[in-house]
Structures are given as C-alpha cells and as structure tokens.
Amino acid sequence: MISLRYHIVSVTAVFLALAVGVVLGSTAISGRLLSGLTDDNSALGEEVAALQAQRSGLDARLADADRFATSVGPLAVKGQLADRTVVVVTTGDTDPNDRDALTGLLRSAGATVTGELQLTDSFTDPDKADQLLNLVARLQPAGTQLPTGADPGTRAGGLLGSLLLISKDDNQPQSTPDELAAGLGGLASAGFVKPGQGLQPAQLAVVLTGGAVRGDSAGDRAAVVARFATQLDRSGAGTVLAGGDGSADGTGAVGVVRADTAATSVLSTVDNLHTAAGRVVTVLALREQLEGKAGRYGVAGNAEAPAPGTAG
C-alpha cells in the first residue's frame, strides 16, 4: 500500500526536476542570447569606429582644402575689383573672423573698403518694426524717394542705400555728408545700427550674416535682412548677400532670398561664407554684379553653382 508520505515525496521530486530543467534550459538560452548580443555589439562598435575614421578623414581633407583656398585666394581675386569701392554691412551674428578675412580679400582684389555698418538685433526685431519704419521716414534725405514696399527691411534698405551707396548712373553720392551723418546718427541713437568710424558711400555693398536663425521670430528676422539686402542692391551698382553654414535653409536670410525669384534676379547670394572658398566666391560674385548679372552660389541644395562661371 502506497503511503501519503510516498505521494508527497514523489510530487516533490517531480516539481524539483521541473525546476532544475527550467533553470538549466533558461541558462542555455540566456547564454546563446547574450552571445548573440555580444556579437551584435561588437559589430556595431566596429561600424561606429569605421564611420568615425571616415569622418576624421573627410574633416582633414576639408581642412586641407580650406588652407589651400586661403593661400590661393588673394591670387584668385587679384585685380577683380580694381579701383572699386565696397561698403561692408554685417548682422549681429556674423563671425568676425569671416568679416575680417573677406575684408582682406576685397583689398587683395583691388577694392577700397569704405567702412562697416552693423545691423543690430533691434533692426530685425518684429516688435520694433513700426518704430524702424517711422524713423526711416523721418531720416530720408531730401530729393530721394522711399521704395513702395511697406516692410521695414525694404524701407530701411531704401534709406541706407541712399546713404551708403553712390548712384550707378553718375557715380555721385546720393546724399550730402550732413544727411549721411544725420541718417546714421538717428538709426544708431535708436539702437538699430552701429556704424564704423569714417564710414563713406561706396559703389558696391556686401551684406554678411551668420547661419540659420533660431527662435520663434526666426523667419521674420531673416526676411528683414533678405529684403534689406535686395533693396540695397537696387540702390547701387551691386550687392552680394553672403551667409554662413545653414544660411540657405528656410530660417536663413540667404534661403529667404532664394525662395523669391524677383530677389534672385538682381541680388547674388553665397551660402558658404564660413569657408575660404566661399569668401573667394563672394568677391567674384561682386565682380559679376558690376556686369549686371546675379547668381546663387555655394554648396547648398538651392545653389545653382559653386561659383560664377561654373554652372552645369
């Protein structure tokens, strides 16, 4: 006769065997799973290392190309702007190194840089648009006419165009020295611009800006700079708008211009000011402006060519 104790011992043995089987089975599965994960992790690590090495190689090649462009830049632009005058306009996010390097190239091209004017953050502030519009109307020199556009960028471009650029028809200033001083002084006192010492009118203008604009009002700020540069171009013999990395996308002034066919028909744009090659192209684009031509240059997807004369 089978006792109760025998039943208990038998059942306990069965459950113990099952437990041992589960443990041994899970250990084997876990071992295979961990082994597979280790292999995958090793493969991914090798892939990351290869990509990092590839990036380092590309960075080195870009650095070499930039050094080469820096060394040959003065030779590439030599004489392109001989006996021409250029005024430099910058925004608050312009890299000072880009500005200084471009100014040096302009001089290598034979141009005389007549000074610099910086547009402050207030200049592009949507909350101060009405204040800028009212001030521009009061400062407009006698005998000149404001453009029909009602936006602050276009109106300010009309005012500063008459102050900073000489007439392309007779190469004469469009304002008197007193009007120039009053106009720049009024805008500076209101915090819209910062003029450099001894700023004088020029034949050509180059407007320099940073990369993509960030923030809630990014699009509005970029549009002010874009329309300002476009109107400045219409006021003299030519203007180029050059921006840094990201300036050609939707949040950059270069990108805003390139989305407007009317603007691109007169204003040249360069989207890689942060490189030595881009600064050379900016000088060559200024030269092209003197011939009545305009183009979209650089490396962004909406550029038509790397440089003037290289389309296709």
Whether 285 and 176 map to the same domain: the answer is: yes
Does any domain span residue 227?
Answer: yes
* End position of a domain, from candidates 44, 77, 110: 77
* End position of a domain, from candidates 77, 98, 127: 77
Whether 285 and 199 map to the same domain: the answer is: yes
Does any domain span residue 304?
Answer: no
Starting at the edge strand found earlier in the chain, the sheet holding 296-297 runs 193-195, 112-119, 85-91, 204-209, 238-243, 268-270, 296-297
Averaged confidence pLDDT in the chain: 86
Cα(207)–Cα(289) distance, integer angstroms: 14
The pLDDT assigned to 21 comes to 58
- Model confidence over 19-41: pLDDT tens digits? 545 555 556 555 666 677 777 67
Q: Can you give the residue range of the structural domain that contains 29?
A: 1-77
Q: Spell 167-182 as b/e; 16+ CB within 10 A means b.
A: eeeeeebbbeeebbeb
Whether 262 and 128 map to the same domain: the answer is: yes
Lowest mean pLDDT among 40-44, 56-60, 75-79, 218-222: 56-60
The pLDDT assigned to 64 comes to 45
Backbone angles phi, psi at 209, to 5 degrees: -140, 170
Whether 147 and 160 map to the same domain: the answer is: yes
The yes-or-no verdict on residue 47 having pLDDT over 80 is no
The pLDDT assigned to 59 comes to 47
Strands (E), 53-151: 85-91, 112-119
The yes-or-no verdict on residue 261 having pLDDT over 60 is yes
Token pair for 184:
């720049």
Whether 145 and 111 map to the same domain: the answer is: yes
The yes-or-no verdict on residue 212 having pLDDT over 80 is no
pTM of the complete model beyond 0.85: no
- Model confidence over 133-164: pLDDT tens digits? 999 999 988 877 888 878 999 999 999 999 99
Does any domain span residue 308?
Answer: no
Q: Domain count for the chain, please give it.
A: 2
Does any domain span residue 309?
Answer: no
